[in-house]
Chains A and B, each alone.
Chain A
């Protein structure tokens, strides 16, 4: 069957036999976007986090059929070297990554969090950013999340969050 969706602003379609194929593998192996990472396959580590219609989703456990017609944003679509997203800027400024593998998932989770909670407290970060990083970059990540919140608010006034629910 043909599966169509908007990926990083562009319409994309793939032919595939199994509509239960996790979105992760469609993105990685069929569309060739390798920034979204495979970590556990069970929605337990968050390395595969991307956005479906602005919501953070663990794509390793998200059947592609639910993505049909929706807007998918991966780390490649969050921002690029010339036009980085505030989260990416903050990650660079705090020099968060060590091995770097799990970082796209953390950044996508953070970008989604900041859309809901523009200025999260430490407790809100603990409760919402529950991905896994074995290098142990959490301490810096927390600083980067606060920094990204500041940057984003400088762009988007605090009384106008981009997406409140």
Chain B
């Protein structure tokens, strides 16, 4: 045991309270120190969350309930975050119950699922809270026995003294609740962990496999109507008028209304927050007794639309992005040395352009939300990754106090960034506000795919200067729709490894809504850069692995604090990948592609094995090395890692999406190809064992997968993929028997 450094002011970090029903309640803040004038909560019944966003309750029977604050989208935080508390609290995992915290909006901090940051930011706070509670319980037992707390030991919620007497946590919980919160609590050494680092099943798995109603789309209240929303069929269009005669005549249809004025009014003002995606158009809403009646009613609406802004097409975006890359309208995000001088002095210059399309999110659970707006309160229930922003925007939209809003988060049938944007919450609220009845807005798959917040189409142009066999200059240009890469990305590898280095970005403002998509920007950039490194190694006639290791060597000991990655950890995952994948030792007929990448604070190396089957390249296996620091729940970690790889392969191979006159070219899975069982590679994962603070896993293994596959495709077929999706025209990839490379 060692004394931890106190990273939070204890006074501001957590508060304790005794419960009217008996027991101890600890409120704490997962992510930031909070205001000093906060009063501790009194009882669970009238909890006002204020600055606390997480709680543990220890009842008189010793049962521990953890109120998990972060939305669960399948990333496993509802299991892994409580594991951290249980470890430091020293209780049996079997005595720990997890409840999804309800949102009270006002002073919430980072109650959000996104960016693979829940574990990284929660690590210290969760451990401190568990350890503090344990110390208070031990202190209470010490006082009862009249001994010094240091003489006592704890095992699985039972406190032991030297005389062989025992007290359970439940026995002393009332006494503990009135004690002063101790300073300087001890945290465990990783070698003493009993729960962290062990396999724990997803806490909801029994409910999932028996079909319990966990998801937003399953939520139902008495008297609730189902709402289907007819939105503009093309980006750039607005509603002119509609005829609902036929729809209203359908059995099951209760009403047809128009919404959108409130959202439009909000659009005119200052945007409430970045997650607000509002359409300026009117929308037609069909309210019905079942979802099917609502869908049918929507199809029967005859609406007239006008072109408010120009309708854009993929061809148009293509031209715009190329023009941006060819032009001079860039913002420079990082500049080291002088790349132009390096290019002028180079023996060789290599320049390549890589392209990727828009992509829809494809959450298997279509967007939906429940709303019941009354004069007294606004009840919202459903799947959203940013509950706080959603509530604030709804308050603004309806001209209500945010205190009126009671928002409950459900499990989410996938998020991948789509549920960061609250458009479906605002729609539900606006509908219920208009008719003052409880409603459930449900999107069809067509609605979902054709009125999305897409991954933006992007082109990267990368240029390298080679002189005397060395990489002397590296310039990355990004042309994107609507928004550019976030500020940390220019400090990822190879920043710091090349003397003359520059990252320039430019964008075209489109009327198509775009946003975050699992591993924003890097989901495509990793493929572009890692393809380029392979091409660079070929051009320089050096070993691909050695080139990467040598470049990383130059970053060691850097005093550049902007550099995000660790060259040592990156080199380590590269060496492990070479070893574990049998790199360069594959039998004839297996072709490998290599990637090492850092994003979302995690270092990953992946090797894809491709074989030719029936004349076409097939990804058979991916060896994945992951350094995410201490692994909380290896079973959950492997699941995230495997999923990220499989998802990354599927979308980079097949994800094809574009626009024609403002309309999406695909609106359902008969026209949009997702990876399926047949395409799913075997994923062999090796986790780096270390004692460094944990980082996230929901995203980091997806970006490298596309690059590993592109490099393996080149090895297998001799063809370099410059555009995602790789396999759009199957004919291009057919390999004749005699052409199969050795």
Contacts and interface: CB of A to CB of B under 8 A. Distances in A.
A155 interface: no
Contact of B364 (A33, A41, A102, A142): A102
A68 to B, nearest CB: 17
A134 B205 CA distance: 18
A126 B214 contact: no
B648 to A, nearest CB: 8
A139 B646 contact: yes
Nearest to A101: B413
A139 B670 contact: no
Contacts of A17: 251-252
Interface stretch (B266-274, B467-475, B566-574, B678-686): B678-686
B366 interface: yes
A54 to B, nearest CB: 18
Interface string B273-298: 00000000000000001111001100
A81 B206 contact: yes
Contacts of B635: 95
Interface in A81-121: 81, 84, 88, 91-92, 95, 97-104, 107
A45 B76 contact: no
B676 A98 contact: no
Name the residue in A38, A47, A80 with the highest tally of chain B Cβ atoms < 10 Å from its Cβ: A38
A39 interface: yes
Nearest to A98: B74
Contact of A42 (B210, B639, B670): B670
B334 to A, nearest CB: 33
Interface in B386-441: 411-416
Contact of A136 (B412, B668, B675): B675
B101 interface: no
B364 A133 contact: yes
B697 to A, nearest CB: 11
Nearest to B208: A100
Nearest to B646: A136
Contacts of A69: none
Given A97-B202, A104-B211, A142 B675 contact: no
Contacts of B217: 34, 37-38
Interface string A25-54: 100111011111111111011010000000
B218 A34 contact: yes
A132 B444 CA distance: 16
Contact of B643 (A47, A88, A137): A137
A41 B202 contact: no
Contacts of A100: 74, 204-205, 208, 214, 411, 413
Interface string A60-82: 00000000000000111011110
A95 B201 contact: yes
Nearest to A138: B680
Contact of B414 (A78, A101, A104, A142): A101
Interface string A121-137: 00001110111111111
A44 B291 CA distance: 19
A141 to B, nearest CB: 7
A129 B676 CA distance: 9
A164 to B, nearest CB: 23
Contact of A22 (B289, B292, B365, B650): B292
Residue among A47, A92, A104, A138 with the highest chain B CB neighbour number at 10 A:
A138
B210 A135 contact: no
A107 B635 CA distance: 20
Contacts of A24: 292
B208 A97 contact: yes
By CB atoms of chain B within 10 A, which of A42, A45, A136 has the most?
Answer: A136
A140 interface: yes
A10 interface: no
A141 B675 CA distance: 14
B676 A99 contact: no
Given A47-B364, A99-B412, A136-B647, A30 B670 contact: no
A129 B251 contact: no
A34 B290 CA distance: 13
Interface in B346-404: 362-366
A130 B445 contact: no
A137 B674 CA distance: 13
Contacts of B414: 99, 101, 134-135
Contacts of B445: 39-42, 45
B213 interface: yes
B683 A139 contact: yes
Interface string B628-654: 000000011001101111110010000
A129 B663 CA distance: 32
A165 B289 CA distance: 40
Interface in B585-643: 635-636, 639-640, 642-643
A13 interface: no
Output the residue of A28, A29, A84, A100 with the most chain B CB within 10 A. Answer: A100
Given A92-B205, A98-B640, A37 B210 contact: no
Contacts of B202: 95, 97
Given A37-B365, A40-B445, 5 more contacts: A21-B290, A76-B211, A95-B636, A99-B73, A136-B644
Interface of B: 73-76, 201-202, 204-206, 208-215, 217-218, 220, 226, 251-252, 289-292, 295-296, 362-366, 411-416, 442, 444-446, 635-636, 639-640, 642-647, 650, 668-670, 674-678, 680-683
Q: Which 5 A-B pairs have the closest CB atoms?
A: A35-B211, A101-B413, A99-B74, A136-B646, A75-B211
Interface of A: 17-18, 21-22, 24-25, 28-30, 32-42, 44-45, 47, 74-76, 78-81, 84, 88, 91-92, 95, 97-104, 107, 125-127, 129-142
14 contacts: A29-B226, A34-B212, A35-B210, A37-B217, A38-B442, A76-B210, A78-B210, A127-B678, A132-B364, A134-B674, A136-B644, A137-B639, A137-B643, A140-B639
